[in-house]
Structure 1
Amino acid sequence: MPAYLPKQSVKGRTLVIGAGKGAAAMAKVVEDTWPGKVEGLIVTRYGHGADCKQIEVVEAAHPVPDEAGRQAAGRMLELVKGLTEDDLVLCLITGGGSALLSLPGEGISLEQKQALNKALLKSGATISEMNCVRKHLSAIKGGRLGLACAPARVVTLLISDVPGDDPGVIASGPTLPDPTTCAESLAILKKYKIEIPDNILKHLESGAGETPKPGDARFARNEHHVIATAQHALEAAAEKARAAGITPYILSNDLEGESRDVGLVHAALAKQVAKYGQPFAKPCVILSGGETTVTVRGKGRGGRNAEFLLSLAVALNGAPDIYALACDTDGIDGSEDNAGAIYQPDSIARAAAAGHNAKTMLENNDGYGFFSAVGDLIVSGPTRTNVNDFRAILIL
């Protein structure tokens, strides 16, 4: 972070705002390295705080927003009112900010936003689609926070948790102009057959929820920098693999799709490598990042990484010399207490010996239950950063 920090504003105030699972940790870096006085407000997930002395840190709920997040978002808008051209706003954004910085648009209740958020999370919608909808139902996302800071200069530093690293998608782009529209939001809700109340329908159809667009002169002095991404994590993991004498192959940093489908494809690739040495010679490790989705049909527990790994486990069915790991880099797989899990060649057999059927548990979206039963959950606790999901498949 220090390399991306702007020069200190000589005349005005330096105000630090932001949201996300890693935002408090970023704020701590600002306090530790900034040469002058700073003040501000950061919102992060419960348990993801940092010991800041000058910048207030508020903890709120994720992935479904709560009243603490709503109040903090309202306070943040009030905090940036009345700034001048001499003031500097440093905005720190990481994944999770959409839920944490939740301030419903006019006429929309927090309860309605909560219900819609839950429906989107279960629908299989991509993060870009979910954030498109969120922007147009918010009083702070989609560039509205940036507008509230005008005429102050706004510098936004982002850690990306979205495939493609589009800064406008990360935490729904609260300080960046938004090219998406209310009409696109409606199309997404229709695509996933999500029913919405009449007031939200009217809000979108009337254009009342429209966001400020690229080219708006009020953003002219602002700048943004994506300072950490999934690609950085994959390259770091590749270096670790080389040091261990294993050849790494980075498959992609922005894989999307249904978790179980992505698991099937990875399993097929691993078996091809193991049996034929194609397209990679073993020993090797296949690395990938991005964000898959889960269309929830069952009643089990588990985030997208556990779902991916259980699908891969079923497809591999004990194939020898293949191991895998799938985790969310923020330390939380969905809304569970684990980062993810590890698969080993005997995982299916150990589960069966304990009376658990992997296929049945996959159909019930119970990846957490499966890997918990065999003792293969990975519980790291909050990492206070977030560069999306991380997957590694080791073939010996």
Structure 2
Amino acid sequence: MTKVIDPDLFLRSLFDRAVDAALPSGKIDLTPVEKPKGKVVVIAAGKAGASMAAEVEKQWPDKVSGIALTRYEHGLPLKKIRVIEAGHPVPDEQGESAAREILALAHSLTENDLLICLISGGGSALLSLPSDGIDFAEKKKINKALLKSGATISEINTVRKKLSAIKGGRLAVAAWPAKVMTYMISDVPQDDPSVIASGPTVPDTTSCAEALRILDGYQISVSQTLRAFLEAEKGAPPEASHPAFDPESLKMIATPQVSLQAAAQAAREHGIEPLILGDSIEGEARDVALVMAGIVRQIVDYDEPVKKPCVILSGGETTVTVSNDIGPLGRGGRNAEFLLAFCQAIGSEHPVYALAADTDGIDGTEDNAGAICRPDTIARAARLGLKTDEYLKQHNAYGFFQSLNDLIFTGPTRTNVNDFRAILILPE
């Protein structure tokens, strides 16, 4: 039986349930890990770095030390593990310095030691130590260009791994012969561990030639020095057969699908039928919005593929391609852009409500997690003189929803299982 619900509160409760399912609390099981003869060192990297490290401090009964590298304002006061904050999504010198220290720490370990690696989304930008021969300034420039290009996270991380001294399995190789245990929170399609934070403890099966094809395909210019570096295969990854890589030592503790399932259960508790479309939906944000709008119309008109009242749930990582010839840029974020394009496509004729937000609490580089739209969004915008076409053209979805007071703010959640979208469709 459907309960009487407030659409805004309902959608926000689903998002909160999804985030809760992704928090590391209670999910890092260290009981099977044998205490080493030597020391135990923790290296954490990502937006969940501090919260994952805090969980290890609670779980490990004996002495532990190490470094938790996370985004600015994502730290926590830990007792044993040092927290370092650095730049994300564009790397900075703080991240480079921390990554250098982390790599040196791994090199210092012996066969008697245990390295516990805690990896989450955002680790690629944070672990920003370039390979020998790669200029850090150029690496930052390439990273920024890739973020604007519309490249997928898998493509971006393929390039990142080839320019890194620590990613693409190199951290595990540096720590060998110490035992390495890796715990991951997935923020990538298909939960591919080699893509999460560019897999610092996982074998890399991509090549330098692939990285060059990606750079050339998105027309990202590189120096002759960097091109020669890649053409000579100097960024080739360690062999997958290296003894540092043990698939049994990797544990996935949170994934987008688990978060979607938690949200679906919350919907059922309210008597609303959930439909999970997928946990790894990619593509241009506004294109994905058009597809979602088409599915919503099918439900509105025909009660297919699910009857009203219902909520459509999906996750993944959309992209926003920013060209250089569109004039002044506004403030964006892929979730807000998705939502603005969805609002424009669906109009205001039907009782449809939607929320799109990033589970890390940060939509792109903004201070909001995402936004919410309602049946009256377009009408309210029109009364304020807001033209959706213009706001989409300038990638200014943040400004659009800010004017309507419809942005969602959570602050850093200290986890990350990527984008979360929920579309509520009520009977007419």
Corresponding letter in the other structure for 1:215: S
Instruction: Please tell me whether the aligned partners of residues 17 and 41 of structure 1 are also in contact (alpha carbons under 8 angstroms).
Output: yes
Q: Does 1:130 align with 2:156?
A: yes
Match of 2:402 in 1: 372
Match of 1:333 in 2: 363
Q: Partners of 2:134 and 2:382 in 1: how far apart?
A: 49
Instruction: Please tell me whether the aligned partners of residues 255 and 417 of structure 2 are also in contact (alpha carbons under 8 angstroms).
Output: yes
Q: Partners of 1:31 and 1:348 in 2: how far apart?
A: 49
Task: Tell me how many residue pairs correspond in the alignment.
Answer: 396
TM-score (norm 1): 0.98
Aligned CA distance change for structure 1 residues 5 and 115 (closer, same or farther; 3 Å): farther
Instruction: Please tell me whether the aligned partners of residues 154 and 222 of structure 1 are also in contact (alpha carbons under 8 angstroms).
Output: no
Instruction: Please tell me whether the aligned partners of residues 135 and 141 of structure 1 are also in contact (alpha carbons under 8 angstroms).
Output: yes
Instruction: Please tell me whether the aligned partners of residues 28 and 253 of structure 2 are also in contact (alpha carbons under 8 angstroms).
Output: no
Which region of structure 1 is more displaced relative to structure 2, 93-102 or 270-279?
A: 270-279
Match of 2:343 among 313, 324, 348: 313
Aligned CA distance change for structure 1 residues 5 and 259 (closer, same or farther; 3 Å): farther
Identity %: 57
Corresponding letter in the other structure for 2:297: K
Q: Partners of 2:181 and 2:169 in 1: how far apart?
A: 13
Instruction: Please tell me whether the aligned partners of residues 362 and 412 of structure 2 are also in contact (alpha carbons under 8 angstroms).
Output: yes
Instruction: Please tell me whether the aligned partners of residues 248 and 287 of structure 1 are also in contact (alpha carbons under 8 angstroms).
Output: yes
Unpaired segments ≥5 residues, structure 1: none
Q: Partners of 1:273 and 1:340 in 2: how far apart?
A: 25
Aligned CA distance change for structure 1 residues 286 and 214 (closer, same or farther; 3 Å): same
Q: Partners of 1:192 and 1:213 in 2: how far apart?
A: 28
Corresponding letter in the other structure for 1:68: Q
Q: Does 1:232 align with 2:262?
A: no
Give the Å deviation of 1:293. Answer: 0.6
Match of 1:261 in 2: 287
Q: Partners of 1:6 and 1:97 in 2: how far apart?
A: 26
Aligned CA distance change for structure 1 residues 4 and 124 (closer, same or farther; 3 Å): farther
Corresponding letter in the other structure for 2:385: G
Match of 2:138 in 1: 112
Corresponding letter in the other structure for 1:349: A
Q: Which structure exhibits the higher relative contact order, with contacts defined as CA atoms closer than 8 Å and separated by 6 or more residues?
A: 2
Match of 2:382 in 1: 352
Which region of structure 1 is more displaced relative to structure 2, 215-224 or 320-329?
A: 215-224
Instruction: Please tell me whether the aligned partners of residues 153 and 221 of structure 1 are also in contact (alpha carbons under 8 angstroms).
Output: no
Match of 1:303 in 2: 333
When the two chains are superposed, the root-mean-square deviation of aligned CA atoms in Å is: 1.2
Corresponding letter in the other structure for 1:394: L
Unpaired segments ≥5 residues, structure 2: 1-26
Superposed, 1:272-287 pairs within 5 Å as 272-287=298-313
Match of 1:66 in 2: 92
Q: Partners of 1:374 and 1:5 in 2: how far apart?
A: 50
Aligned CA distance change for structure 1 residues 4 and 260 (closer, same or farther; 3 Å): farther
Residues 21-48 of structure 1 show CA distances to partners (whole Å, capped at 9, x for unaligned) of 0011000011111111100011000000
Q: Partners of 2:71 and 2:31 in 1: how far apart?
A: 24
Match of 1:381 in 2: 411
Residues 52-98 of structure 1 show CA distances to partners (whole Å, capped at 9, x for unaligned) of 11100100010000000000000001112232222110000000000
Residues 297-328 of structure 1 show CA distances to partners (whole Å, capped at 9, x for unaligned) of 34121111011101101101113210000000
Instruction: Please tell me whether the aligned partners of residues 285 and 392 of structure 1 are also in contact (alpha carbons under 8 angstroms).
Output: yes
Give the Å deviation of 1:134. Answer: 0.2
TM-score (norm 2): 0.91
Instruction: Please tell me whether the aligned partners of residues 22 and 386 of structure 1 are also in contact (alpha carbons under 8 angstroms).
Output: yes
Instruction: Please tell me whether the aligned partners of residues 256 and 279 of structure 2 are also in contact (alpha carbons under 8 angstroms).
Output: yes
Superposed, 1:75-86 pairs within 5 Å as 75-86=101-112
Residues 188-241 of structure 1 show CA distances to partners (whole Å, capped at 9, x for unaligned) of 111111111111101100111111132223324872111100001100000110
Corresponding letter in the other structure for 1:294: V
